[in-house]
Structure 1
Amino acid sequence: MTVSDRSIKDAEEAGERLLAEHLSDDPFAAAFKATRMPMIITDPRQADNPIIFSNAAFSTLTGYAREELIGRNCRLLQGPQTDKAVVAQIRAAVEDERSLAVDVLNYRKDGTPFWNALFLSPVRSQAGDVIYFFASQLDFTRMKERQSELAAARSLAEEEVARRTKDLRDALEAKTLLVHEVDHRVKNNLLTIASILKLQARLTRDDTVRRTLHSVLGRVEALSTVQRKLFTTADVEHFDGADFARDLATDMIGAVRRDDIELTFNLSPVLIPATKASPLAFILHELVADAVRRGLGDGGGKLHLCVERLNGQFHIEMRDTAGARDAGGEEKDFSRMILETSARQVGATITREINGSETVVDVLLPVDSHGEGKTS
C-alpha cells in the first residue's frame, strides 16, 4: 500500500469512526447527510488535515464524488485566480484553531469557478483538544455577479453623470461667453445711439427738439446703466436693484449740474431678475426726471431715495421737495405713459402723495421668498 493509499485509508477510517459515534437515527448524522448545504469534516490530527467526510450536497457543488474527496486537502478546490491572501487566512485559522468566515473563489472538478462563502469551525473534545474541523459552503456566484453588474452599472452611471456635468458646465460657459458678447455689442450700440443723440442735440437750433433729444438720451443712458450692472458680476441673471437705483439717481442728478440739490439714500440690497431690468430702469428714470422737471432742475431742493424689501415686496420710495407745479406738457404725458407701461410689465403698483412742498412716490414690485423678483 502506497503512502497515498494509506492516507486515504486513514481518512476513511476516521470518517467511519466519526459516524460510528452517532447512531443512524442520530439527528446530527441525519441532518449532515440530508441537508442541501454543502458540508465537509476534516481531521487536523492527520497529515495535511484531510477531508474525512463530505455530504452529497458538497459533491453536487464541486463535481467531485465522495471517493475523490476522502483523504485529500480542501486545496483541491483552489485555482489560478484564487486569492492567495484568502488562502493564507484559512491556513492561519486552522493553525490557530479558530473559526473563520471568508469568501473565496474556488473551482469545480470541470474547472468552472464559483464564489464560495466558507464557514470554518474547530470541533473540540471534552478535554478541549481540536479533533475535527467542520466547514460549510454556500455558492453565491450569482450574487457576486450581480454585485459586479451593479458596480459596473454604477460606474457607467457615474461616468454618464460626469459627462453630462461636463457638458452642462461647457454649455454654461458657452452661454456665459455668448451673453457677455451680446452685452458687449449692446453696450456698444447704446453708446453709439447716445453719441448720435448728443451730437444731434448740440447741432439743433430748435429748443423743443433739443429737449426731446435730451429726454431720449436720458432713457438710453438709463438702459446703459442697468446693462452695466447686469454684466459686471458673475450672476448674469440678477442684479441688485438698490445698487442700480443709487447709480442711476446719482448720474441723473449729476447731469443737472446744480450744487443746491441734496441727494440722500436709504438702500438695502434686493435681487431683481434680469428680465425686469429695462422696465425698472425706465420707472426709476421717469420718477427722477419728473422731480427735476417740477423744480429740482431750476431751484434745487432735496431728493431722498429709499430701496428695500418690504413685506415680501421690492419697495422704492422717492421723496422730493420740488413742489407740485405742473411742468413738462407733452414730455410729462409721454413720461407718464412710459411709467405706466413699465409698471404693467413688471406687475408694479405706483402711488403718489403730495404733502405741501413734498411729493412722495411709492413703487411696490412683487419678489419671491429668495429676494428675487418673480417673473411676470
Structure 2
Amino acid sequence: MAGAARRSIRTTEKRPRAAVPRADETFAAAIRASGVPMLLAEARPPGYPVAFANEAFCRLTGHAADEILGRDCPFLQEAGNGGLPLAHLRAALSRGEEARGEVRLARKDGMFVGAAVSVSPVRVASGTRYAFAVFTDVAAREDDDAAGSRAALQAALEHRTELLHELDHRAKNTLQVIASLLMLRARRGPDAATRAILDRMAERVGALAAVQRLGGPDDGCLDLRVFAEEMAGELLAGVEPGRITVSVEVEPILVPAAKAGPLVLLLHELAVNAIRHAFPDGRRGNVRIAAARADGRLALEVADDGVGLQATNPPRDGFGLSLIAMVARQLGGVLVWDEARPGTRAQVSLPLDAAGA
C-alpha cells in the first residue's frame, strides 16, 4: 500500500475476551457486512482490548478476527507513531466526546497502512463502556479525492469547450450578418463608387467569417491551404467563366486562431487586388497563389501575368494597398512588390511563429 514500510510489530499477550454486547440482529448484521472498517474495543485501560472487528477491518489489516479479538489496541498501531494517543482517546471518551485522528495500522504482513479514524463512546445497559472506531483507508480516500478532482477538471474542461464552441458559432453568425447587411446596403447605394466600396467591405468581412467557419473545432487553427482553395473558388464566381484562371500552390500550414484573421485578410486582399485590377477590359490571364515554409519563415506570394503595376498605376494611399501594408507589418512581415514582366508579383515573408508551425 501507498506509503507503506516494513516495521516490526509489537506483540502483547491476549487478555480474556469480554462478551460482545447484545444488539439488534439486523443492526449487528449490517455492521458485520459493511464495507467500512469498524472495530469495537472495551473502554478499559490500559490497552483497550478489542471486542469486535468486522470483515472490512480484517481485510484492511490482513489479520483474521481471532488474531485481533482480545488483543490490546496498540498492537494494531505502528510503534512510536500512534497518531491517536490513548491518553487523548481516554480523555475524549471520559467526557463522552468523539475523538478523531489518523493512525498507522500494522498489517499482518509487516506493512503499515494510513487510516483516518473516528472513535465514539458507547455505553450499554449493563454500564460497560466501549469505544466504537470507524476507519477510512487514507490511500483509498486520496484515490477517491484524486478521481473526484479529475472528474471535476474534466467536467470544467468540457464546459469550457462548449462555451468556446458557442462563442465561435456566435462570432461566425455575427460576421455573416454584417456581410449580408453590407451587401444589402451596397445594392441600394446612391452611386457605383459607394456600391463598390460596400461590396469590398462585405468581401473582407466574409473572409474573416471563413476563419470562424473553417477553424478547427477544438484549437481553432486554420488550414491555410483549405482557405486558399475556397477563397479562389469564391473570387472566380464573380468573373466571366474561363477568362481568369487561379492556381493554388499552398502547403497545408496550420495557422493559430489568434493569427488566422490578419493572415487571411492579407491573402484575400492580395488575391482580390490581382483579379480585379490586373486584367482590365476583359483581358484574360492567370493568377498564382502560393504559400510555403522557407528558411524558417512563411513565404506568401500572389502573382499575375496581367498588365502590371505601371499600367494600372494604383494610388499608393488607396485603402486596399494601405490595408495590405498595415497587416503585413502587424504580422511582423516584409512586403515586396515586383514587376513580373508580364504582370505583378507581391511577396510577403513572415516569421513562422506569426503564422503557425
After TM superposition, the score normalised by the length of structure 1 is 0.58
Equivalent residue runs for 1:195-214 within 5 Å: 195-214=180-199
Paired position in structure 2 for 1:322: 306
Q: Please point out which of 150, 159, 172 is paired with 1:174.
A: 159
Paired position in structure 2 for 1:28: none
Equivalent residue runs for 1:117-266 within 5 Å: 141=106, 144-146=111-113, 152-230=137-215, 233-266=216-249
Paired position in structure 2 for 1:114: 75
Cα distance, 1:156–1:344 mapped onto 2, change above 3 Å: farther
Matches of 1:372 and 1:156, distance apart in 2: 47
Paired position in structure 2 for 1:41: none
Displacement of 1:209 in angstroms is 0.9
Answer yes or no: is 1:61 the counterpart of 2:11. yes
Q: Please point out which of 270, 281, 294 is paired with 2:253.
A: 270
AA partner of residue 62 (structure 1): T
Q: Please point out which of 327, 338, 343 is paired with 2:328.
A: 343
Q: Please point out which of 309, 326, 348 is paired with 1:363.
A: 348
Unaligned segments of structure 2, at least 5 residues: 1-7, 16-49, 78-104, 117-135
Deviations 1:50-102 (A, max 9, x none): xxxxxxxxxx832479xxxxxxxxxxxx996699xx9xxxxxxxxxxxxxxxx
Displacement of 1:262 in angstroms is 1.3
Displacement of 1:227 in angstroms is 1.8
Percent of pairs with identical residues:
28
Paired position in structure 2 for 1:304: 288
Is the Cα contact below 8 Å between 2:51 and 2:69 reproduced in 1?
no
Matches of 1:177 and 1:367, distance apart in 2: 30
AA partner of residue 161 (structure 2): T
Is the Cα contact below 8 Å between 1:107 and 1:114 reproduced in 2?
no
Deviations 1:166-219 (A, max 9, x none): 233222322232223223322332222222222222222412112211221211
Matches of 1:154 and 1:328, distance apart in 2: 78
Paired position in structure 1 for 2:297: 313
Displacement of 1:269 in angstroms is 1.2
Is the Cα contact below 8 Å between 2:291 and 2:301 reproduced in 1?
yes
After TM superposition, the score normalised by the length of structure 2 is 0.61
Is the Cα contact below 8 Å between 2:245 and 2:285 reproduced in 1?
yes
Highest Rg: 1 or 2?
1
AA partner of residue 225 (structure 1): A
AA partner of residue 141 (structure 1): A
Local SS of the residue matching 1:264: strand
Unaligned segments of structure 1, at least 5 residues: 1-36, 39-59, 66-77, 87-102, 117-139
Equivalent residue runs for 1:12-161 within 5 Å: 61-63=11-13, 106-107=67-68, 110-112=71-73, 114=75, 141=106, 144-146=111-113, 152-161=137-146
Displacement of 1:270 in angstroms is 1.1
Answer yes or no: is 1:290 the counterpart of 2:255. no
Cα distance, 1:292–1:64 mapped onto 2, change above 3 Å: closer
Cα distance, 1:303–1:153 mapped onto 2, change above 3 Å: farther
Deviations 1:125-177 (A, max 9, x none): xxxxxxxxxxxxxxx9287444557x944434433333333233222322232
Is the Cα contact below 8 Å between 1:104 and 1:115 reproduced in 2?
no
Matches of 2:292 and 2:206, distance apart in 1: 24
Is the Cα contact below 8 Å between 2:334 and 2:348 reproduced in 1?
yes
Matches of 2:162 and 2:75, distance apart in 1: 56
Paired position in structure 1 for 2:84: none
Matches of 2:144 and 2:334, distance apart in 1: 51
Matches of 2:256 and 2:271, distance apart in 1: 22
Cα distance, 1:154–1:265 mapped onto 2, change above 3 Å: farther
Local SS of the residue matching 1:299: coil
Matches of 2:308 and 2:244, distance apart in 1: 17
Matches of 1:115 and 1:372, distance apart in 2: 65
Displacement of 1:225 in angstroms is 1.7
Cα distance, 1:168–1:205 mapped onto 2, change above 3 Å: same
Local SS of the residue matching 1:266: strand
Local SS of the residue matching 1:256: coil
Matches of 1:64 and 1:159, distance apart in 2: 37
Matches of 1:292 and 1:284, distance apart in 2: 12
